[in-house]
Structure 1
Amino acid sequence: MKKSSIFGLIVIAIAIAVIISVYSSTSSYGNFNDAKKSSSELKVVGRLNKQKELHYDAIKDANYFSFYMRDTVGNECKVVFTGTKPEDFERSEQIVLTGKMIGNEFHASNILMKCPSKYTQDKLETKEYKAKQASI
């Protein structure tokens, strides 16, 4: 075999290995029931339950934050995040958690939040302004 053929086969083998490793490390979406059945990390989408307590005490333990979240099918679960509480967490419209169930708690390794649009107030003001202009 030529050296260029051997080099080409090695490059192809490395590319296949990289693709397989990237594919296997991605987590899929589910709900809290799916997380109970799965031993790997899962992404769960839901909303914060504002009626239940948020626990974060920066003086006692700055790397412990817990709250209750309701997933897209209505299941509620206590979520524990080993990190600081994200800024404006209570204002989030939707939360995407990456993690896994340990016992009856979902332990999140990452939190992504969809916050309310900062442009919503501007749209409201524009509609009010147009309504006033039309009445003049």
Structure 2
Amino acid sequence: MIARIGIAVVGVAFAAYGAWLLLAEDLADLVDAAVWLGAGVVLHDFVLVPLTLALGWLVSRLVPAGLRPRAAAGLVVLGTLTVLAIPVIGRFGERPDNPTILDRGYTAGWLLVVVVVLVVVGVSEVARRRRRPR
């Protein structure tokens, strides 16, 4: 119980420090933070959730029942990595005066991860079929 209270006190202290830092900024920064947070909620609720539901429905119709858990795991990994990779694949924040920013082939790296995830899903399905009693 004392550990929980200690963790709560530390959490409240960090939250208070973050609020203090936020309130010490200009009003324009507060508006930018509010817009950024609001946009995240809107994108999640009106883009990511419907897209995830539609993809789940499609997978449930097209993928055989035995492969669905592995396909779902692969889609969760790929979906998360794709959302995280969008800024670098889109090269947002690239600056011509600083060539060290976004200096790699991020699209090729993302495609490599896609291939690795698909291979892992395929190999795990083959292993599952081999373990199954005949």
TM bracket, shorter-chain basis: under 0.3
**TM-score, normalising length: structure 2:** 0.26
Query: Computing the radius of gyration over CA atoms, which structure comes out larger, 1 or 2?
Result: 1
TM-score (norm 1): 0.26
More strand by percentage: 1
